[in-house]
Amino acid sequence: MRQAIAYALEGTCDAHLQHSPAVDALEAYSAASDSSVSRFIVANGVITSDELAAGGLRVWLTGHDPITGEERGHQRLSPDADLLLDGTLNHPKSYSIAALLHPELAAEFEAMQDRLRERILLTWQTELNARRGHGGLIREEISRIEVVELQHRRSRALDPHIHRHLWLNIKVLGADGKWSNLDSRVAMKLHTVVNAEGELAAHTDPAWIDALARHGYTIDDTGEIAELASAVRPFSRRSAQIEGNRTRLIAEWSAAHGGSAPSVEVLQQIDRRAWAVSRPNKPADLDEALWEARVRDEIAAIDPSLTNPRAPNPVTATDPQALDLDLLAAQAIVDADERSTSCGGRFSSFDIRAGAMRALSRTGVVAERDRLDGVIAEITKRATGAVYRLVAEAPAHVKAFMATETVRAKVRLAGRLDVLARPGRCLLPGELRRFAPNEDLSTLDASQSVAACAVAGTDGLVTVTGPAGAGKTTMLRAAFAALTSQRRRMLVVAPTRKAASVASREIGAAASSIHALLSDHGYRWGTDEAGAKVWTRLRVGEVDPRAGAVYGGPTQYVLRSRDRIVVDEAGMLDLQTANVLVELAIEQGVGLAFVGDTHQALPVGHAGAMGSAIRHANAAVELDTVHRFQDPDYAALTLRLRDAGDREHALVVAGELAEHGTSTGSIITTRRASG
């Protein structure tokens, strides 16, 4: 509460302020600040506004009427209960630079944001719902919401960054006249539509587009003002700081964990820390004129021509009647599908509508927002009819759909894995010792030995899973030696060239990135008309359009029957790439071994390939002992950390981690020479 009011009225970060009891801090702000914020009330589609001073804001945030003090519904007293949801109107950096250079553009930019704000407020009031009853199981339509708006001109690094915060109060009035809490789950799911509204406004708002054209500006494919794009990176100091922090933290984590990739959960923690480390405080006092002059000087230093007047550009807008709605529907599906990779390929009606709006924003249409409602509805309708419905009837926020092509990819992969999983047999322990006489097999634990026998055996499909430090590299060295003695080759492939190089150096086998192997066998990665990523394949004798030469077949990675392709870091293998890799393995008569950790970093595309391989494998081995740590108790703890199960268990594991020490450097000592 203290931080929220300071942020709204004092214009500063909480790090500047002395900590004090919340009630005392609130009273101090109420008495000391003469600032105010704008409150917008949306009641049954009608927007009104007023101003709230510090005292009124405090009352409003705590779920009371800021004028009468009347309590609004049941008060949630939990320390982590939501008071508000913060939505941000955040446009490309070049818009803020243009506004600083041209006062007229600054006024038009603010007016465009005003129109966008009204659209968002109306969308929130009509699309969101309240939660009632035990566990919030009852959904109630909303007749009234209240939003406070904060307007900012700069980033924390003092770069030009015009943006607004819309604070949506968690207390809303239901259609039945009762106050209760907003369903924040739906609000978070609707945010994709809110973001799409901003993108649509920036590309199609007539007054904004005309103002840009009068100053000789155009918007490029990335959404930036093309003529000012060169100034964006120098004025993105805060973003550069965050990205630098993230790169450093990932490298430190990887070095402390034997070069392995961080899991999705660890990456999320790193992202939060990268944002927080050395985060600059917003200055309490700043001379606006001096700041503007300094920024203009910096723009001129980047490129003197950026401050020169430009000749007007004509506005060439696309006629909405000339749009290919089926193509736009296909693009909307691709947009929703690409954003669904962390959700198993599932998306909602909200996601489809957002995709339709983003697709429309790229067409060159310029029109008043209300005129586009029908077009968006029709694109959304066509897209919804072309995807696979997972749930018969579901609210708009529920992820009840999947792209038809993604469904086909899942089914196709399962069928191909069934074909690939031709029965063979694993080596016996004695055979492994005979085939790998120069390897010190005594360093292998029981699960490593079983895995090595499986990889060096003749089963068509083998999977080996295990956490970082479980000895996958040691196991693969033994399997490589045994395969070599059988006059069979091992080719290690990995999602990245760097990972393949590491695998080759540590195992001794030939290695390649997956894409290099597939490219050598004629596969090409590209996009279709709707923007979907697709694999195609050249046949021998066909002209490669990229190289301009006739494709003559594989030359670098020629495969022979009974070879073993080992997919290292297989948890990062996406669904589409897995499909063509398995297709190639079937065609060439080689076996596949998926080796990795399903709890580590997800692929860029759709996940699930590793899980599907485990289900269809002839032999699925799980490495159950961590060798990387000298402390056996901590090694066991890292295994329990992978599957905490529920909140209670997670807290127990977290407590044990705290007892061991929160610094991994104090726990992780040396990696065994055997790997």
pLDDT digits (tens, 9 = 90+) for 391-405: 988 999 999 999 999
* Phi, psi torsion values for 245, nearest 5 degrees: -60, -45
For tokens 């959404």, the residue is 223
pLDDT digits (tens, 9 = 90+) for 14-65: 333 344 444 344 344 334 445 789 999 999 999 999 999 988 998 999 899 9
* pLDDT above 60: residue 519: yes
Q: Is 198 exposed, middle or buried (0-12, 13-18, 19+ CB in 10 A)?
A: buried
pLDDT score for 25: 42
HSE toward the beta carbon, residue 645, CA cutoff 13 A: 7
Contacts of 119 (CB under 8 A, 6+ apart): 197, 201, 369
pLDDT of residue 271: 75
Residue with tokens 């000895």: 471
CA distances from 645 to 14, 615, 621 (A): 36, 21, 22
**612 exposed, middle or buried (CB, 10 Å; 0-12, 13-18, 19+)?**
buried
pLDDT for position 159: 78
**Residue 629 and residue 618: Cα distance in Å, rounded?**
31
pLDDT over 80 at 593, yes or no = yes
Mean pLDDT of 524-528: 93
Name the nearest CA neighbour of 403 among 331, 328, 326, 324.
Answer: 331
Measured in degrees and rounded to the nearest 5, phi and psi for residue 560 equal -125, 155
What pLDDT is recorded for position 28?
43
* Residues 458-480, mean pLDDT to the nearest whole number: 88
pLDDT-based confidence at 645, cuts 50/70/90?
low
Position 249 scores a pLDDT of 82
Q: What is the pLDDT of residue 410?
A: 96
Q: pLDDT band for position 235 (50/70/90)?
A: low
Neighbours of 280 (CB within 10 A): 14
pTM: 0.81
Number of Cβ atoms within 10 Å of the Cβ of 458: 18
Q: According to the model, what pLDDT value does residue 540 have?
A: 95
Beta strands 591-596 and 564-568: pairing type?
A: parallel
Binning pLDDT at 50, 70 and 90, where does residue 277 land? low
Confidence of residue 137 (pLDDT cuts 50, 70, 90): confident
The angle at the Cα of 247, spanning 245 to 252, to the nearest 5 degrees, equals: 95
Lowest-pLDDT range of 131-140, 266-275, 352-361, 660-669: 660-669
Task: Report the DSSP pairing between strands 129-132 and 171-174.
Answer: unpaired
The amino acid at residue 409 is A
| 362 has a pLDDT exceeding 90 | yes
pLDDT number for residue 635: 53
The whole-number pLDDT of residue 13 equals 37
- Asked if the model's pLDDT at residue 627 lies above 70, the reply is no
**Mode of pairing for the β-strands spanning 510-513 and 490-494:** parallel
Identify the helix (H) or strand (E) that includes residue 55. Answer: helix 54-61
Q: How far is CA 594 from CA 172, 462, 620, 643, in A?
A: 51, 6, 9, 21
In angstroms, the Cα distances linking 410 to 351, 402, 403, 461 are: 21, 11, 11, 17
Tell me the residue length of the chain: 675
Tell me the Cα Rg of the chain: 29
Tokens of 462: 């083998």
Could you give the CA distance from residue 108 to residue 614 in angstroms, rounded to a whole number?
Answer: 57
**Bigger pLDDT: 240 vs 674:** 240
d(CA 384, CA 212): 35
Q: Which is more confident, 318 or 284?
A: 318
- Provide the pLDDT confidence category of residue 641 given band limits of 50, 70 and 90: low
For 188-250, the DSSP string reads: HHHHHHHHHHHHHHHHH-HHHHHHHHHTT--B-TTSSBGGGGGGTTTT-HHHHHHHHHHHHHH
Structural element, H or E, at residue 136: none
Mean pLDDT calculated for residue range 478-487: 95
Cβ neighbours of 5 (radius 10 Å) = 22
Percent over 70 (pLDDT), the chain: 83
| Average pLDDT rounded to a whole number, residues 101-123 | 96
Distances (CA, A) of 37 to 121, 137, 166, 482: 16, 34, 11, 73
In whole angstroms, give the CA distance from residue 333 to residue 603: 20
- How high does pLDDT run on average in the chain? 85
pLDDT band of 485, cuts 50, 70, 90 = very high
Q: How confident is the model over 536-563, as a mean pLDDT?
A: 94
pLDDT tens per residue across span 241-263:
667 777 888 888 888 877 777 77
Confidence of residue 291 (pLDDT cuts 50, 70, 90): confident
**Which of residues 224 and 649 earns the better pLDDT score?**
224
SS3 530: coil
pLDDT by residue (tens digit) across 558-592? 999 999 999 998 989 999 999 999 999 999 999 99
Of 377, 298, 252, the residue nearest 100 (C-alpha): 298
- 257 within 8 A of 668, measured Cβ to Cβ: yes
pLDDT at 100 over 60: yes
Query: In this predicted model, which residue has the larger pLDDT, 631 or 576?
Result: 576
Flag whether pLDDT at 659 surpasses 50. yes
- Provide, rounded to the nearest whole percent, the portion of the chain with pLDDT above 90: 60
At position 101, the amino acid (one-letter code) is L
> Nearest Cα to 299, choosing from 291, 290, 288, 307?
307
Residue 138, φ and ψ in degrees, nearest 5: -95, 125
Torsion of the alpha carbons at 237, 239, 244 and 246, rounded to the nearest 10: 160
Q: Give the per-residue pLDDT at 663.
A: 39
Taking the C-alpha atoms of residue 452 and residue 474, their distance in angstroms, rounded to an integer, is 9
Question: What's the confidence (pLDDT) of residue 1?
Answer: 60
What pLDDT, on the 0 to 100 scale, is given for residue 8? 67
Encoded tokens for 409:
């990819």
Kindly report, residue by residue over 148-196, the tens digit of the pLDDT: 999 988 776 677 889 999 999 999 999 999 999 999 999 999 999 999 9
pLDDT score of 284: 54
Closest CA to 597 of 631, 642, 636: 642
Question: Which residue type occupies 395?
Answer: P
Give the residue from 128, 161, 162 showing the smallest Cα distance to 146. Answer: 128
CA atoms within 13 A on the CB side of 22: 8
The pLDDT of residue 562 is: 93
Three-class SS of residue 479?
helix
Is the pLDDT assigned to residue 233 strictly greater than 90?
no
Judge whether 99 and 109 are in contact, CB under 8 Å: yes
Q: What is the pLDDT of residue 126?
A: 96
Helices (H) then strands (E): counts for the chain: 23, 21
